[in-house]
Amino acid sequence: MCGIVGIVGREAVAGQVIEALRRLEYRGYDSAGIATLEHGRLERRRAEGKLSNLQLKLVQSPLTGAIGIGHTRWATHGRPNETNAHPHATARLAVVHNGIIENFRELKKELETAGARFETETDTEVVAQLVSHLMDQGLGPVAAVEAALPRLRGAFALGFLFSGEEDFLIGARHGAPLAIGFGDGETYLGSDALALAPFTDEITYLDEGDWAILTRDGAEIRDIANQIVARPRQKIVSQAFLVDKGNHRHFMAKEIHEQPEVVGRTLAHYVDLAGGRIALPEALPFDFAKLSRLSITACGTAYYAGLVAKYWFESIARLPVEIDVASETRYREPPLDRDGLTLVISQSGETADTLASLRYAKSQGQHSLAVVNVPTSTIARESSVVMPTLAGPEIGVASTKAFSCQLTVLLCLAIAAGRARGTIDAARERALVDALITVPGLMAESVALEPEIEVLAREIAKARDVLYLGRGTSYPMALEGALKLKEISYIHAEGYAAGELKHGPIALIDENVPVIVIAPHDAIFEKTVSNMQEVAARGGRIVLIGDAKGAADHGLDTLATLTMPAVDPVVAPIVYAVPIQLLAYHTAVFMGKDVDQPRNLAKSVTVE
Ligand code: F6R
């Protein structure tokens, strides 16, 4: 988490640093800071909270240096106050950091013994103090960084600015992404290409262990063994980096509304419409028919997409699926078949636990398939095959359109697997493809329920606890519904398999707890109705997200019924994502919460 920026520019860089940080705010917004050289002297401005607070400080007290670094923070070590805000500095240098220095306590002790005085509660300050200490012993800035880097443990990316050194910055990558951008007499450092897109379309991604000296003429990149290396320059398509809210009040609203379009775009990439079959955009380096099982790993919402996919792979392709959250997979060290397949799912492609699980799977001789939204991300680059979700940049911290695009790609993969394994014939594949093709239209119809959902949101906003129930693929959707509501409204919400209710959670039901039941009229609808009856019998207030047939059949009093269009049950999760997201969104907006940047969260979770 955290975003870092560095610019060796021709004139005052503070404005550009802020612009780049604005694009990195998705990585954290606990505090922000900038350091520049003012006539060779290090000057910092830092502020608690969002970037706008830092901007105010810069208005009151501008910086004019032509070289600078900046940071937007998601707090790991130390409270999110101004003292702990980056850049951290000594008289010799300032540093910005993304990630965690795991051995900071040990280094801090050593440096304190040598006379260093620490001002913050952060792990980052040890980096500033360590490099400073090495410079006190006579090393120049480059040699000091070279000597310091091997002493740091953990996953991190760093940017250094040195007092009196107007002509260069240093960046280092060790487990967290870092890109260098090349401009006209200017060179940039950033946590991702999105941050640098306003200034350049020419990017180099540092490899693991690389560090680089950036000057106005370019960058000298060294690998982990300190050998000078050439890394490829890539052209980025700036069109893909347009970031605005359009006519919407929040990015999250825009991204929910965009779903019919982006799911359609994703489908067009995976479906041979004329042939009525799935046509994967990449050749697969493995054969689905030869797999004895599939391992899926991911975090948060992406994990729930994987959980839905488990139902699809097992029922359509008769392929057993093992799925776990990546923070567990990575340390569980599950036995994995050589030549088997691990599927990782990630919007950002940078999630530390997912990346570590991917690396573990590769170390076991597994093929890796990544469903990712950011095609230039580390996970995309390290996977043997990438199936992109074409959702476009997702800025709202709560994942919406990336989730529905993940589901779309995963269903296409399950169908392709079914064909390869001979568990579906051409007619069934065509029927599944026909169902998929209806999805964008059905999502658009579901968006039209928004006025009703807005009214319902006012009721949900009064609740302290909310339960979500579902069976089959609606069970992971219940988990996702609860996650979406809690992360942006801060209302406590839990998702359960509807059949599990009577094994404990039913004790929570009373007239104050809304129970949101996700139940398209499918083969197990009647079973879910029985669970709704159990809720009703205990005075629970039911909200049914179902279709007209279900609404007519259940015969119970509900707090509200959101009548969705009739859908083929196979594609229901993709379509039902819309009301779930809209309900969380409007509840949070009604409660006055910051839906795009909810407290304590960040968009890209690059720490474990
Ligand atoms: C919730 C949300 C998170 C992410 C999770 C994984 O709305 O967005 O739960 O899904 O942090 O992130 P990615 O998909 O970038 O690996």
In 482-574, where do the E strands start and end?
492-497, 514-519, 541-547, 560-564
Winning range, highest mean pLDDT, from 98-112, 252-266, 359-373, 430-444:
359-373
Residue 108 has pLDDT above 90, yes or no: yes
Ligand 1 pocket test target in 27, 255, 297, 301 with most atoms within 8 Å of CB: 301
Residue 390 lies in a domain: yes
Q: How far apart are CA 91 and CA 131, in angstroms?
A: 11
Length of the chain counted residue by residue: 608
* Segment 472-491, tens digit of pLDDT: 999 999 999 999 999 999 99
| Domain co-membership, 400 together with 504 | no
Residue 240 has pLDDT above 60, yes or no: no
> What's the CA-to-centroid distance between 134 and ligand 1, angstroms?
39
On the 0-12 / 13-18 / 19+ scale of CB atoms within 10 A, 539 is exposed
| Domain co-membership, 477 together with 352 | no
Picking from 407, 441, 475, the residue at the C-terminal end of a domain is: 441
| Structure-token pair, residue 220 | 């000298």
483 with 581: CB under 8 angstroms? no
Cis bond before residue 579 (omega within 30° of 0): no
Q: 601 pLDDT band (50/70/90 cuts)?
A: confident
Q: How far apart are CA 291 and CA 337, in angstroms?
A: 9
529 with 539: CB under 8 angstroms? no
* Segment 543-584, tens digit of pLDDT: 999 999 998 888 888 999 999 999 999 999 999 999 999 999
Q: How far apart are CA 283 and CA 507, in angstroms?
A: 51
Kindly state the average pLDDT of the residues 327-346: 94
Q: What percent of the chain has pLDDT over 90?
A: 81
| Domain co-membership, 279 together with 388 | yes
CATH number of 232's domain: 3.60.20.10
Sheet strands side by side (includes 202-205): 41-48, 31-38, 67-73, 3-8, 187-190, 179-182, 202-205, 234-235
On the 0-12 / 13-18 / 19+ scale of CB atoms within 10 A, 500 is middle
Q: Of the residues 108, 310, 401, 603, which is catalytic? A: 603
* Segment 149-203, tens digit of pLDDT: 999 998 789 999 999 999 999 999 987 889 999 999 999 999 988 899 899 999 9
Kindly state the average pLDDT of the residues 203-224: 95
> What's the CA-to-centroid distance between 603 and ligand 1, angstroms?
7
| Domain co-membership, 69 together with 196 | yes
* Number of independent structural domains in the chain: 3
Q: 455 pLDDT band (50/70/90 cuts)?
A: very high
Ligand 1 pocket test target in 27, 304, 329, 348 with most atoms within 8 Å of CB: 348
Residue 602 lies in a domain: no
* Segment 527-548, tens digit of pLDDT: 999 999 999 988 899 999 999 9
Rg (CA), the chain: 25
Picking from 385, 408, 441, the residue at the C-terminal end of a domain is: 441
Number of C-beta neighbours around residue 263 at 10 A: 28
Residue 61 has pLDDT above 90, yes or no: yes
Per the prediction, the chain carries an average pLDDT of 94
> What's the CA-to-centroid distance between 279 and ligand 1, angstroms?
27
> What's the CA-to-centroid distance between 202 and ligand 1, angstroms?
28
Residue 599 lies in a domain: no
| Domain co-membership, 115 together with 180 | yes
pLDDT value of position 23: 87
Q: Is 603 a catalytic residue?
A: yes
Residue 520 lies in a domain: yes
Q: Is 412 a catalytic residue?
A: no
pLDDT value of position 606: 66
| Domain co-membership, 206 together with 230 | yes
CATH number of 576's domain: 3.40.50.10490
| Domain co-membership, 470 together with 495 | yes
Pick the closest to residue 68 from 5, 133, 24, 140 (CA basis).
5
Residue 249 lies in a domain: no
Structure letter (DSSP) for residue 372: E
Q: Whose CA is nearest to atom 9 of ligand 1?
A: 300
pLDDT value of position 239: 47
3-state secondary structure of 68: strand
Picking from 223, 244, 265, the residue at the C-terminal end of a domain is: 244
> What's the CA-to-centroid distance between 336 and ligand 1, angstroms?
25
Pick the closest to residue 605 from 393, 389, 240, 302 (CA basis).
302
Position in ligand 1 atom list of the atom nearest CA 301: 10
Q: Whose CA is nearest to atom 7 of ligand 1?
A: 398
| Domain co-membership, 358 together with 375 | yes
Residue 52 has pLDDT above 60, yes or no: yes
| Domain co-membership, 435 together with 452 | no
Ligand 1 pocket test target in 399, 479, 601, 604 with most atoms within 8 Å of CB: 399
Residue 381 lies in a domain: yes
| Domain co-membership, 466 together with 415 | no
* Segment 405-428, tens digit of pLDDT: 999 999 999 999 999 999 999 999
The whole-model pTM stands at 0.78
| Domain co-membership, 388 together with 419 | yes
pLDDT value of position 243: 65
Position in ligand 1 atom list of the atom nearest CA 403: 10
Q: Of the residues 2, 299, 405, 412, which is catalytic? A: 2
Name residue 271's amino acid. Answer: V
Residue 131 lies in a domain: yes
In 464-522, where do the E strands start and end?
465-470, 492-497, 514-519
Residue 242 has pLDDT above 60, yes or no: no
| Domain co-membership, 202 together with 270 | no
User: Which amino acids bring their CB within 6 angstroms of ligand 1?
Assistant: 299-302, 346-348, 351, 354, 398-399, 483, 487, 605
The parent domain of residue 500 ranges over 448-590
Residue 601 lies in a domain: no
pLDDT value of position 247: 76
